[in-house]
Chain A
Amino acid sequence: MDAARRYDPVLLSILGIIALLVVLAIAAVLLRGGEDSLEPGSPEGVVQEFASAMIDGDRERARALVSDEAFDDCGGFGGPLPEPGTRVTLRGVSTGESSASVRVGISTGSSGDVFGGSYEESGEFVLVRDGSQWQVSQTPWRFDLCSLEEVE
């Protein structure tokens, strides 16, 4: 039972690789992780503000970014706010004269779920131009804006 046998070189090197990757991942998340900074007045900037507000549960901030005509199709019932761990990524923007479409990817779940089961889907935000500002007009179902109707 010599010393070389007690400390298995293969296992140690594998453990070393695992430790390195874990440290890198932690560093990446804590330092670089988080939101890209986008131009606040652009369509994608408005969507970022809106999505952050909805995920945070800040209804007032979200309501300020929604155009008043957006509630015309609401039946009086609103959907729930998105889950706290939701993450939104930008997939594409197409800007027109008076309306813009921002395509996003939404991933939810995986909070504490040990098998990393996150659910990914795609959605689209439609914005309308109100003067010089962009306002949210349509949202993916996860960010249903009908629940904001009563908020001032």
Chain B
Amino acid sequence: MPQRADRAPGGIHTLRRVIMLLLLAILVSVAAAGATGLLGIVLDPGTVLEDNGYFLAQSVASVVIAAPLGALVYWLTLRWLARFDDRRSVLWPVYLAVVGTVALLVGLTAMLATLADAVSGEWRPDSFALGLVWLAVWAWHAWMWHSPRHAPTRLAAVSPSLAVLVGIGFAIAGVVSALGVLFRSALLGSTSLLVGADHWWMPVLQQLVWAAGGALVWAWHWWGRGIRRSSAAFARFTLVVVSGFLAAAVTLGGLASLAYCVLALTLGVDGSAFAMARESRDLLDQLATAVAAAVSGVLVWAMHRAAVADATTSVRWSARLVASGVALAFAASGFGVVVNAGLAALSGSLAGDERSLLFGGLAALVVGALAWVVLWRPHDPGDETPGESWTAFAGRRAYLVIVFGVSALVAVVTLLVIAYGIVQSVIGVPWSESIIESIRQPLGLLTATALVAVYHFVVWRRSAPYPGLERAAARIEHVTLVAAGVTDALVEQLRTATGAKITVWAPHDEYPPADAAALVRALDEVRGEHVLVVTTSGGVEVVRLAAE
């Protein structure tokens, strides 16, 4: 039964762990590089035009030196995991997560590239070797994350959550590309510029390989490793990132690009017939990718909807906040570009016009603004009392402060750039633009960020600050539990039941093991800032502590 996560001994041990884990990472990487080289040579007996043995020597040396040393360091690590209780250190899961994720990225990229090329009939042994070796490294680290002897007790769910992000990243890229090629073929006709047996569906199939690989990694960690149901902080953060940020960014990006293409195709970017012909083909190309992106974003959102609905309200509303932030970013930058285009029109040009700039800005502004209104719901009346509604959500205030701060910062930077541009024009630095030309872009950005900052500042001031607003939902602030045999599951149960922060102290003497049901019952009606809970042989004793 794993002990509750406490801190591992620090001081000199931290130094030891840092050095050892760095060594292990370096040795693993070198050994993997060498193994890749050797495996590549073995798999590819094909034509070698020139080989002076350098590559072979490098690979052999890497493997011969790094592998035994790596094995030694690993054996030492294993021993010290037990002896010095390194599993409780925070460096161990950091190492596993970092090396594991890097190995996953390198291995997955190489392996998927091999498979995609194999679909079109090419065999790439070096890519395959790279993929195989690094996927093996990843598998080893993933096994270590979960095996009882190695499993870290802190930073729960970090490594599988990062793998979820990697998987979804690859899946999104693959689906967008595959659908993009599909739609492009539909819109432009299947023009094959290459002489050969390439059919139009070959690139679609190749991109689907990437999408399938990413989806497999995502599904394995999401369902198989239980990230979907996990209530660990990083897992919930991952859910917010995926369903709030990624889904919103991809969908809104696609929709904005789509709106731009529609505007440009109907209203025309340039008047002459020559330009229209050239432009139409590029625009239809962009249209295909835009539709693909919008569809993929909606798909990602739909697939995570169930998980978000099952999660706590704070996760749901955090995701909504992040999505409304993305929408705000699109709307603000679109508005900045529109102002930019207007100023450009005022200053005149030698050739070409500002219509493409204007259309791009309008598209982003309209799409972003609509999404922002739907997500942020500014028309909801502000709630003065803290409670469970959207307008009183505690994270919303943090969001307001962040947005105000960031936009104020950007506004200050643009002011500097504007001042620089004006002075440059006035002094007459050679090759410098006229005043309007040099300041139109930062001025557009300044207007947008100034408006954003003002609005969010006003809303923030208006939402009444109550002390302890964030903790209003929790009955108890802090529970110190003195009990034996406390598991992570029990702590989670307590946390869900009371909403408090739980600290566990293990008693020195023999105490009966903690019983979750009894503890929850005992804490049922208790309210207070800090509560001490002791499981004695007579039962559970609850002591409310006085405030400091």
Contacts and interface: CB of A to CB of B under 8 A. Distances in A.
Nearest to A111: B356
Contacts of A122: 431
A104 B346 CA distance: 17
B364 A33 contact: no
Interface in A1-38: 1, 5-8, 10-11, 14, 17-18, 21-22, 24-26, 28-30, 32-36, 38
Contacts of A25: 338-339, 341-343, 345, 358, 361
Interface residues of B, number: 69
Nearest to A87: B352
Contacts of B455: 10-11, 14
A88 B168 CA distance: 42
9 contacts: A25-B361, A26-B362, A28-B341, A34-B353, A55-B352, A87-B352, A89-B433, A90-B350, A91-B434
Given A5-B381, A5-B382, A88-B350, 12 more contacts: A10-B455, A33-B355, A34-B349, A35-B352, A44-B350, A56-B270, A57-B278, A58-B274, A85-B352, A111-B269, A114-B363, A114-B364
A151 B335 CA distance: 43
* Majority SS at the chain B contact face: helix
Given A33-B355, A114-B333, A47 B279 contact: no
Given A36-B348, A56-B272, A14 B354 contact: no
A48 interface: yes
Interface in B336-384: 336-365, 378-379, 381-382
Interface residues of A, number: 55
Contact of B335 (A18, A28, A30, A52): A18
B250 interface: no
Contacts of A7: 379
A89 B363 contact: no
A68 B349 CA distance: 28
B338 A56 contact: no
A73 interface: no
Contacts of B290: 112
B381 A6 contact: yes
Contacts of B481: none
Contacts of A110: 337, 356-357, 360
B354 A33 contact: yes
Interface in A87-114: 87-92, 103-105, 110-114
A138 interface: no
A116 interface: yes
Interface stretch (B213-221, B254-262, B396-404): B254-262
Interface of A: 1, 5-8, 10-11, 14, 17-18, 21-22, 24-26, 28-30, 32-36, 38, 44, 47-48, 51-52, 55-58, 81, 84-92, 103-105, 110-116, 118, 122
Contacts of B357: 85, 87, 110, 116, 118
A36 B353 CA distance: 10
A110 B352 CA distance: 13
A87 to B, nearest CB: 4
Interface string B428-458: 0001111001000100110100010011001
B185 interface: no
Given A10-B455, A89-B349, A112-B286, A84 B279 contact: yes
